[in-house]
Homo-oligomer: A and B are copies of this chain.
Amino acid sequence: MNFASDNAAPAHPAILEAMARANAGALASYGGDALTARAVEAVRTVFERDCDVLFVATGTAANAIALAALTPAWGAVFCHRHAHVAEDEAGAPEFYTGGAKLLLLDGPHGKIAPDTLRTAAAGYSRGNVHGAQPFAVTITQATESGASWTPAEVGGLCEAARGAGLKVHMDGARFANALAFTGASPADVTWRAGVDVVSFGATKNGALAAEAIVSFDPAVSAVLPHLRKRAGHLVSKHRLLAAQMAAYLDDGLWMRLAAHANAQARSLASALTAAGATLLHPVEANEVFVRAPEALAARLRAAGAAFHPWASDGPDAYRFVASWATTADEVAALAAVARG
């Protein structure tokens, strides 16, 4: 009954098998191999267009490299107050950009409303040397509160961003889970809606350690390889990442895994609310946020269930995460304990 994090799950067997298959013979290092080329093509196919694709091993690396390509050191990036880049990445965006500021915005369920961005951006004048100079906004798909952006919502935010002269980055650590909920296509919810760069995550959804930086902006793309290598994120035996990503995308595996995780999250939500918890955010991906009576939380903990308190949602708030590996039996076991 481990609902602590989708990072606690192992890799999907098909992905590990692909890594094993890729582990034969000499291959050009640093991504100059045919397997990497195929994985890049697979990402392009998923996004329905030419784009630049760089693989890294962690989501923090993908986000920080992307943001550093979008803003100068003297710039600033808008993000949600509780965004992973702001709260959980130890200042990686500030490190990679060379000290750019994160400007924190509020909004329900981890989303930033277009008008919130417009108002905030209006508070900064381009060229004012004393104040922050925003260059980009980053949003999270699904959000830190488990909500999913629709293409229309992303489009609205991007329109506000364009109006303020900002580029748009999407942290897609749970990109597949969001798509599984909204039914949107990767293209519709990203570049067709105005997104410039995506951190396309696979790790939380069945890979072992594989993320892609996907850039639709050639000027940004030109910088990314240098930022990646300089940060030590260009993996030498690059088949490690390429094999995972190719298998992840092969035959729709990634979307099946996400759909499964989301379904388990919905079951989790039912079980918890039936036991007296109240939902704090809509369940639109693979995470469930609840306020739970202390007795319920204590009962679950006593039974060995792993889950995290969630400070940004206040007292008695908890997060439960389902993954591709979460079984219906595990959720049923939790439900049984929850019922008391």
Is A116 positioned at the interface, with any CB of B under 8 Å from its CB? Answer: no
Is A92 positioned at the interface, with any CB of B under 8 Å from its CB? Answer: yes
Provide the residues of chain B in CB contact with A9, threshold 8 Å: 26, 237
Task: Select the stretch in A70-78, A145-153, A265-273, A285-293 that faces chain B.
Answer: A70-78
Is A299 positioned at the interface, with any CB of B under 8 Å from its CB? Answer: no
Partner of A227, one of B62, B74, B239: B74
Q: How many chain copies does the complex carry?
A: 4
Cα of A7 to Cα of B92 in the assembled complex, Å = 28
CB distance from A121 to the nearest CB of B (A): 14
Cα of A29 to Cα of B20 in the assembled complex, Å = 23
* Residue in chain B with minimal CB distance to A226: B74
Tell me whether B130 and A89 are in contact (CB under 8 A).
yes
Which 10 pairs, one residue from A and one from B, show the smallest C-beta to C-beta distance? Answer: A61-B232, A94-B99, A2-B26, A60-B232, A7-B29, A98-B98, A129-B229, A7-B236, A90-B230, A10-B23
A-B contact pairs, 28 of them (CB 8 A): A4-B28, A8-B29, A9-B237, A16-B20, A19-B19, A20-B20, A58-B232, A60-B232, A60-B234, A61-B233, A73-B98, A73-B230, A74-B91, A74-B95, A74-B226, A76-B91, A89-B232, A90-B129, A90-B226, A94-B94, A94-B101, A97-B99, A99-B99, A123-B311, A129-B234, A203-B236, A203-B237, A233-B233
